[in-house]
Amino acid sequence: MDNGICQMYEDEIQLLEEEIKLLTEKYEDNQQESTFFSDEEILMSIKSLQKEFQGESKGHESPSDLKAQLESLETDLSFLMRFTGIQFRRHSKKTVEKTGNRTVQKHRLSGTCHSLSFQLEFQLLEMQNKESVSSVVTDLGIIMESGEDSGVSKFASSIEEHGNLLTFFRSLSTYAEWYEHRRRTFLHFKINLVTAVIVVSGTAIQ
Amino acid sequence: MEEGKAYSPQVVSDPAQPSARAVLEWKIKSVKSMLQIFYLTGISGKLTKRGVCFCISTAYEGTYLDSYHLDLLTKPEVQIYRHSLPTFIPLQQIAKKYLQTDIRRFLTVLSDHLNAYAGRRYQADQLQERFSDQIEGTLQRNSLCNLLVFNYNVSSKSKTFPFRARLLYGDLCCSLPTEVAVSCSLESGARK
């Protein structure tokens, strides 16, 4: 067979293999993003997997490895949420574009920072370079619970304009912590003031 | 096509009954995804056998820049085991002030310094890149990127005026300059 034709077929096979790989990734991403399993279902799966593969290892990770991996990840996540005060309630993402070394995903995130609630929407562009991944946030939309506070809404608008997601979280963290301090301090004084008034009026009546 | 023969597509697996392994793998991916989101908040990390390894990420507007690691030991007291911070960030000074009493504040202050530095460096890089035709030579800067000096040309009516700008960023936690000096050597307005 002519070498040229062979090469042509080989090139075509390679292109098709790359296309299959891309489509498989797209399918897996889609499955991941459109499925949801509750905590009970997760626990049941752990138990069922451990029963099925009692002592066996079929070339995949053993069920105890998977369980350990999950526990380690969940411990890290729980620590970060406690430490930073940022609790994520819901997170969903959808792959909008995936070509070569470029991935664009649309994220929806809701949660609280200490006692303040927020909802976010943004697009994240990730580009794979030789050594690292570069990330850029665009189309950022923010909804804050205390949106009536003009300071907060001005802050949110300025963040949205420049796509400053990192600044949003850092500032929110500081603001929310001080908001908590003020709320507790106010409550403390309110209680003490009411007590003092009762004592004073009690004395006055006598 | 033969008559009477129905074509039925091959079903690889029943998506309504995912395997226990698939469910677990879904959950693992889901938690990993959430941990990646923490990276975007500026402070993320991982528990280690002897403490915590924090990751401080930096960004300028929507563009994420370098991230820095700080490996802390928690026993017998909090101490820095190792880190990837540049030497010109006053880590020891900040640690002396906050590390023992308020780790959150320690990380916030460190994050302020790192983000400001990363922001200044990014802006200097962008200036060099986007205005390369107007800037004469290269931008001069120190390692902290809080002192920038550059020469640039402004053309008007077939005359080119050489300007010199000096930007000083007095606040190390800020990525905007506190002092700007612009000078022009007017006598040498060379003709184009």
- Could you state, in order of their start, the residue ranges of all structural domains in chain A? 85-199
Question: Closest Cα to residue A171, out of A192, A156, A190?
Answer: A156
Q: Do B58 and A166 touch (CB under 8 A)?
A: yes
Q: Which of A32, A46, A80, A81 to mutate to test binding with chain B, by most B CBs within 10 Å of its CB?
A: A80
The stretches in chain A having pLDDT less than 50 are none
Please tell me the predicted confidence (pLDDT) of residue A99. Answer: 83
Bridge partners of residue B82, in order along the sequence: B71
Contacts B34 to A, Cβ<8 Å: 77, 88, 91
For residue B128, being part of any structural domain is answered with no
* Helices A165-205/A150-162 angle, 10° precision: 170
Beta carbons within 8 Å of A76's beta carbon, 6+ residues apart: B35, B45, B46, B47
Q: What is d(CA A160, CA A123) in angstroms, rounded to the nearest whole number?
A: 12
* B46: CATH: 3.30.457.50
Q: What letters, b where the CB count within 10 A reaches 16 and e where it falls short, cover A81-110?
A: beebbbebeebebebeeeeeeebbbbbebb
Q: Which of B43, B103, B106, B108 to mutate to test binding with chain A, by most A CBs within 10 Å of its CB?
A: B43
Measured between CA atoms, how close is A36 to chain B, in angstroms? 8
Q: What is the pTM of this model?
A: 0.81
Residue range(s) defining the domain that contains residue B93: 23-120
Which among A79, A166, A170 is the nearest to B47, CB-wise?
A79
B141 within 8 A of B148, measured Cβ to Cβ: yes
Q: What is d(CA A174, CA A162) in angstroms, rounded to the nearest whole number?
A: 20
For residue B12, being part of any structural domain is answered with no
Question: Closest Cα to residue A78, out of A69, A88, A68?
Answer: A88
Please tell me the predicted confidence (pLDDT) of residue B54. Answer: 97
10-residue mean pLDDT series, chain B (192 residues): 48 64 89 93 94 96 95 92 95 94 93 96 93 88 92 86 91 91 71 40
Please tell me the predicted confidence (pLDDT) of residue A135. Answer: 94
Q: What is chain B written as a DSSP string?
A: --TTPPP-PPP-S-TTS--HHHHHHHHHHHHHHHHHHHHHHSEEEEE-SSEEEEEEEEEETTEEEEEEEEEEE-SSS-EEEEE---TTS-HHHHHHHHTTT-HHHHHHHHHHHHHHHHHHHHHHHHHHHHTTTTEEEEEEE-TTS-EEEEEEEEEETTEEEEEEEEEE---TT-SS-SEEEEEE-GGG--B-
Q: Which of B19, B47, B56, B61 to mutate to test binding with chain A, by most A CBs within 10 Å of its CB?
A: B61
Measured between CA atoms, how close is B58 to chain A, in angstroms? 8
Please tell me the predicted confidence (pLDDT) of residue A37. Answer: 84
For residue B55, being part of any structural domain is answered with yes
Residue bearing tokens 């850029």: A136
pLDDT 10s digits, A105-117: 999 999 998 888 9
For residue B180, being part of any structural domain is answered with no
Please tell me the predicted confidence (pLDDT) of residue A58. Answer: 59
Which among B15, B24, B108 is the nearest to A66, CB-wise?
B24
Residue B180: count of CB within 10 angstroms of its CB = 10
The total number of structural domains that make up chain B: 1
For residue B143, being part of any structural domain is answered with no
Beta-carbon pairs below 8 A across chains A and B: 123
For residue B97, being part of any structural domain is answered with yes
| Identity at A66, one-letter amino acid code | L
Please tell me the predicted confidence (pLDDT) of residue A47. Answer: 84
